[in-house]
Amino acid sequence: MKKEKINLLGAGLIGSLLAIYLRKRGLDVAIYEKRQDWRQVDTSGEGRSINMALSYRGWKALERAGIKDKVIPYTQPMYGRRIHDEHGDTFFQPYGKENQAIYSISRNAFNKILLDEAEEQGASIYFQHKVEHVNVAKREVTFSLADGSSKNIAAEVLIGSDGAYSALRNAFQSQLRFNFNQQYVSHGYKELSIPTTPEGDFAMDPNALHIWPRGKFMLIALPNLDKSFTCTLFLPFEGYKVSFENIHDEQDVEQVFKTHFNDAYNLMPTLLQDFKRNPTAALINTECYPWTDNNTLLIGDAAHAMVPFYGQGMNCGFEDCSILDGLVGKYGTSSWDLVFGKFQKGRKPDTDAICQLAMDNFVEMSDNVADPKFLIRKKIEARLHELFPEEWVPLYSMVTFSEMKYSEAYAIGKLQEKVMDRVMSDPLITQNWDSLDYEEILHQVVVAGAV
């Protein structure tokens, strides 16, 4: 049998990991990438999020691809959120049980590791190949190259791992009976930074994701290996006093930071330069269906771009790769339409669920985390989890520290939410939360789940 050649569009994190998986299956793999080889050039300040939060699903997918151990040294564990209030006081909110953490990693460094590995495993990588046109019915791709020339390929199998603005998805949109939804959220973001102290140390707790929640806007910071922090400012584009449209000059920047993020401000000597230099980026959510047609497939952000508020975009894309690889193992490569069909059918409810959770989580991150009642709610949930470790797992933990299907986590989360709403409706809850009948609360979820 002729060995199929798999052509991937996009050599980002998802495309690189998928290439490793497919090479390990003995398949021929070529990756076409629009940008130049970023392993040789500095691509910081591109306006893309430069720190990723790697969690359980991502780690499992790396492990199965045999690349986990190479990644570990580049990560910095964050065991919880450190909340900064308006007075500069902070408190710590663990993400899960002791030792459960999410891991900060630089996108650039991470992509280099994966791409090197893909290449080492024998994948061919073609940089500066920009997709100009895809004919889905013929699986023909026309690229424009750096020298202005163009190149055509006819692919046997074509996979779009080319992100939220996928060229393959664009072709699907105009060439198939294709349902597609793209939605921008009201907020944009800008990257800023907190350097090391003069002594070369972390300027804040290095084992936390720092959040300055301010209701309609927020600042977050993730630690880097070089002991600096990468900060991301999330503001509404317009319609509010504190919004990108109302920041016209350096004075406005300073005023926002001094007023709302004063402790961070004191750690940000390059704030004004960063603010000016770094672009204001938008946040898109996309959902679409089908993901496959005629031996082509969308995967990762190309199939389901989500907003970053659950820290799952990359983890979900890695899980995509792992699931797809499992299906290749199970069904073989004699019918890609079968494999891709199984993939989209099984996976779509899960990516719908995580897209929705990511959208909803902005409110939790920017607002609730600072609310005393929300903190009690979290404490009750933590207690429930402590008492009934198998029966009550908080939604965040199901999503972040397990491989439970996202759609299942979503459904259980909805049940828990209903029960917790009822628990929290007790006007004396702030006083008596410690002495609740926890068994009875758990029972409510069990009953609700049964009907």
Q: How many residues in the chain?
A: 451
Q: Which residues contact 122 (CB under 8 A, 6 or more apart)?
A: 23, 29
Residue carrying the six token digits 């990644």? 71
Task: Mark the segment that binds a second copy (CB under 8 A) among 59-67, 71-79, 171-179, 375-383.
Answer: 171-179
Task: Quickly count helices (H) and strands (E) in the chain.
Answer: 15, 19
Q: Which residues contact 378 (CB under 8 A, 6 or more apart)?
A: 93, 394
165 touches a second copy (CB under 8 A):
yes
**Of these, 40, 99, 174, 425, which contacts a second copy (CB under 8 A)?**
174
CB of 327 to a second copy, least distance (A): 23
Binding residues among 108-127 for a second copy as defined by CB under 8 A: none
Q: Which residues contact 440 (CB under 8 A, 6 or more apart)?
A: none
178 touches a second copy (CB under 8 A):
yes
Q: Are 315 and 261 in contact (CB under 8 A)?
A: no
Q: Which residues contact 210 (CB under 8 A, 6 or more apart)?
A: 81, 82, 84, 90, 204, 220, 221, 222, 229, 264
148 touches a second copy (CB under 8 A):
no
Residue closer to a second copy, measured from CB, 154 or 282: 282
Identify the bridge partners of residue 278 per DSSP, sorted by sequence position: none
240 touches a second copy (CB under 8 A):
no
**Of these, 49, 173, 246, 407, which contacts a second copy (CB under 8 A)?**
173
356 touches a second copy (CB under 8 A):
no
CB of 184 to a second copy, least distance (A): 4
237 touches a second copy (CB under 8 A):
yes
The torsion defined by the Cα of 273, 276, 277 and 281, in degrees rounded to 10, comes to: 140
d(CA 234, CA 355): 18
d(CA 281, CA 57): 27
Which pair of structure tokens corresponds to residue 240?
Answer: 């509010």
Residue closer to a second copy, measured from CB, 282 or 338: 282
137 touches a second copy (CB under 8 A):
no
**Of these, 2, 41, 148, 177, which contacts a second copy (CB under 8 A)?**
177
Task: Mark the segment that binds a second copy (CB under 8 A) among 6-14, 165-173, 304-312, 339-347.
Answer: 165-173
180 touches a second copy (CB under 8 A):
yes
d(CA 47, CA 268): 18
**Of these, 124, 142, 182, 255, which contacts a second copy (CB under 8 A)?**
182
CB of 144 to a second copy, least distance (A): 14
**Of these, 135, 150, 152, 183, which contacts a second copy (CB under 8 A)?**
183
| Closest CA relative to residue 137, chosen from 291, 2, 30, 296 | 296
Binding residues among 246-285 for a second copy as defined by CB under 8 A: 282
Residue closer to a second copy, measured from CB, 146 or 282: 282
CB of 370 to a second copy, least distance (A): 28
CB of 278 to a second copy, least distance (A): 18
Identify the bridge partners of residue 131 per DSSP, sorted by sequence position: 143
184 touches a second copy (CB under 8 A):
yes
List, as own/partner pairs, every contact residues 425-431 make where C-beta atoms lie below 8 angstroms and the sequence separation is at least 24, other chains included. Answer: 429/373, 429/376, 430/372, 430/373, 430/376
**Of these, 181, 266, 270, 431, which contacts a second copy (CB under 8 A)?**
181
432 touches a second copy (CB under 8 A):
no
Q: How many residues bind to a second copy according to rule CB under 8 A?
A: 14
Task: Mark the segment that binds a second copy (CB under 8 A) among 74-82, 178-186, 205-213, 316-324.
Answer: 178-186
Residues that bind a second copy (CB under 8 A): 165, 170, 173-174, 177-184, 237, 282
